[in-house]
C-alpha cells in the first residue's frame, strides 16, 4: 500500500519521545509536514534530530507548549492555525493504590489525557470540515476497557477518550473528516520500562522483567510481549491516509490480543 500524505500538515501531541515520536516519524515518511509538540524545547530539538536521521527530507516544525493548559493550546494554535491530521498522543500514566488517588491527581489526569485532546479537536475540526478532509486520532489504551486496579485514574481518562472520539465523529459525519481512537496495548517505551520495573522489581534484567510483567499483570496478551512504538505508528499512518476514508467513529486496536471484546 502506497500512502501519500504530501501537502498535509500533521500535528502530533506529546511527540518528543516514545509513541508520539514514532508516529511523527511514520507520518513524515509518508510525506506529511509534521509538527512536534512537547513542554521542553531541548527535548523537542533532540526529537527533531532523531526524526531527521530517519527521514532526512522531512519538513518539521517544533512547538514547545504545555497542552494540558488553555494557554498551551493557544500557543500551538498561534504557531499552527490549521491542520489536516491531528494525533492526540499526549498522556501521563502511573500506578497508585485506588484509595490513595487524591482529587488533584484525578483532575491532572483528566486535564492532561482528555481535555488537552478536546481543546485541539474543538479548534482544528471546523477547518477540516470546511475543507472537506481531515483525520483526527486519539491514542487510547487497553486500560480504557480492561481497567487496571493499580491505575484506575489512567484507565478512566482513556475510557473518556473513546467517548470523545465517537462523539466528535458524529459531529463530523458526512464531511470527509474521520475521527477515531487507537487502543494501544502495553507498549515498549522508556516510561513503561520504569513502570514495569516498579511493579516487578528493579533488579531483574529487562527481558526477564518484561516476561514477568506480561505473565503476572497482562496475562491475556496473545503476543506475550510489549508492543513496539513503530507498530502503533503503522496503524496511525494508515488511519491518517486517504485509504482509511471509510473508518470513522471506531476504536481500532493494536492491543496484542489483550482485549477479548469491545462495545462501541
Catalytic residues: 154
Query: How far is Cα of residue 146 from the mean position of the Cα atoms in its chain?
Result: 18
Phi/psi of residue 140, each to 5°? -95, -150
For 233, counting Cβ atoms within 10 Å of its Cβ (0-12 exposed, 13-18 middle, 19+ buried), the class is: buried
CA–CA separation, 37 vs 78, rounded Å? 13
Say how many CA atoms lie within 13 Å of 40 toward its Cβ.
6
CA–CA separation, 28 vs 35, rounded Å? 10
Distant-in-sequence, close-in-space partners of 161: CB < 8 Å, separation ≥ 6 = 88, 113, 114, 117, 138, 139, 140, 144, 181
The secondary structure element, H or E, covering residue 237 is: helix 229-239
Are the C-beta atoms of residues 75 and 65 closer than 8 Å to each other?
Answer: yes
Are the C-beta atoms of residues 138 and 165 closer than 8 Å to each other?
Answer: yes
Say how many CA atoms lie within 13 Å of 132 toward its Cβ.
0
Say how many CA atoms lie within 13 Å of 53 toward its Cβ.
8
Amino acid at each position: 500500500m502506497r500512502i501519500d500524505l504530501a501537502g498535509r500538515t500533521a500535528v502530533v501531541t506529546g511527540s518528543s519521545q516514545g509513541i508520539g515520536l514514532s508516529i511523527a516519524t511514520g507520518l513524515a515518511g509518508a510525506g506529511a509536514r509534521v509538527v512536534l509538540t512537547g513542554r521542553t524545547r531541548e527535548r523537542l530539538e533532540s526529537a527533531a534530530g532523531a526524526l531527521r536521521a530517519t527521514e532526512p527530507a522531512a519538513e518539521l516544525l517544533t512547538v514547545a507548549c504545555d497542552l494540558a493548559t488553555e494557554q498551551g493550546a493557544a500557543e500551538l494554535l498561534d504557531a499552527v492555525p490549521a491542520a489536516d491530521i491531528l494525533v492526540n498522543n499526549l498522556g501521563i500514566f502511573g500506578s497508585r493504590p485506588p484509595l490513595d488517588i487524591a482529587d488533584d491527581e484525578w483532575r491532572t489526569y483528566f486535564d492532561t489525557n482528555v481535555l488537552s485532546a478536546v481543546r485541539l479537536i474543538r479548534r482544528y475540526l471546523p477547518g477540516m470540515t470546511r475543507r472537506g478532509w481531515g483525520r483526527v486520532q486519539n491514542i487510547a489504551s487497553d486500560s480504557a476497557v480492561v481497567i487496571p486496579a493499580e491505575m484506575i485514574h489512567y484507565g478512566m481518562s482513556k475510557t473518556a477518550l473513546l467517548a470523545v472520539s465517537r462523539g466528535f465523529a458524529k459531529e463530523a459525519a458526512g464531511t470527509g473528516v474521520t475521527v477515531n481512537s487507537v487502543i494501544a496495548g502495553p507498549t515498549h517505551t522508556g516510561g513503561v520500562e520504569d513502570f514495569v520495573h516498579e511493579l516487578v522489581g528493579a533488579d531483574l534484567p529487562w527481558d526477564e522483567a518484561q516476561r514477568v510483567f506480561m505473565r503476572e499483570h497482562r496475562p491475556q496478551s496473545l503476543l506475550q510481549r510489549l508492543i513496539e512504538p513503530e507498530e502503533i505508528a503503522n496503524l496511525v499512518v494508515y488511519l491518517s491516509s486517504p485509504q482509511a476514508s471509510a473508518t470513522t467513529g471506531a476504536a481500532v486496536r493494536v492491543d496484542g490480543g489483550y482485549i477479548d471484546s469491545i462495545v462501541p
